[in-house]
Amino acid sequence: MRLILTVLAAGFAVACAVMPDRAFGATVEPTGEQIDSAPCTAALTAANDEKIIASCGALIGNDKAPKADRVKAAIARAAAYDRKGEIERAIGDDDTALRLDPTQPDVFNARGELLRRKGDRVHALSDFGTAVKLDPNHVSAKANYKSLSLEVERIGAMMAVNNKPSFNCATAGRPVEKAICANPELANLDREINSVNTKVVREVGQGNPRAGHAMQREQDDFLARRNAEFGRPDFDLQKMMRDRLDHLLAISQH
């Protein structure tokens, strides 16, 4: 966004100096009314976000102004809103710029970054993809597309196993396994315990195979005790599983 603003400011200053009668926004309408773009141009040149937001709106919304000038003003105000943390307004101005000129990869990439921060990964990915199609060498858009694609893939993988234990519920035979399958919280706990235990056994076993085997025996003992004690009046399955996970996490963090 800051790079876009710098380029726009330089372009506007040159246009006004070289062609004062045809500078940004200085078009004369048939009625003789002149579109005053000076306040917006000055704010942009000074990189003053407050003044950009206050003065460029009239130009952006004026359908009699040159399209290119409206696009530049919309991009500039979007950048100003972004720096102020007003994401929705920044997206709105990028929307305007792209409605007026849908051939700008920088704006698609900028809007994609805003949408990603907002949590709208689907539309953000679409914007990054469009930016790359418009400019296959757009470094930022390509990086954004790749990283967001991987993020979406990871989320999809997590959703696929959400509320599912580490074992196949379709073949679960033990009462305790059926109880775990019937309770999403217990199912997630079981999957976490299995995942962290696998990590701990691998890490410990790399430096000391015997210690790794000992850690796996500890897990096997936990499962055997869980299976044997389930159903007793004083048995708390959730507490036992939570204690086991906390124990494994403590080992993993050392």
Which residues are 34's β-sheet partners?
A: 28
Element (H, E) at 127: helix 121-134
3-state secondary structure of 28: strand
Token couple for 36: 């005053």
Task: State the virtual CA torsion across 198, 199, 203, 205 in degrees, nearest 10.
Answer: 0
| Length of the chain counted residue by residue | 254
The answer to whether the pTM exceeds 0.75 is no
Question: What pLDDT is recorded for position 8?
Answer: 53
The conformation of residue 208, written as its DSSP 8-state character, comes to -
pLDDT means per 10 residues in the chain (254 residues)? 49 41 40 65 87 90 89 94 94 95 96 94 93 96 92 73 84 92 93 91 88 92 94 93 93 76
Question: What pLDDT is recorded for position 253?
Answer: 72
Report helix angle 209-229 to 184-207, nearest 10. Answer: 160
Question: What pLDDT is recorded for position 39?
Answer: 83
Token couple for 184: 């999403």
Query: Which domains does the chain show, CATH number per domain?
Result: 2-159 (1.25.40.10), 169-252 (no CATH)
Report helix angle 105-118 to 121-134, nearest 10. Answer: 170
Burial class (CB in 10 A: 0-12, 13-18, 19+), 170: exposed
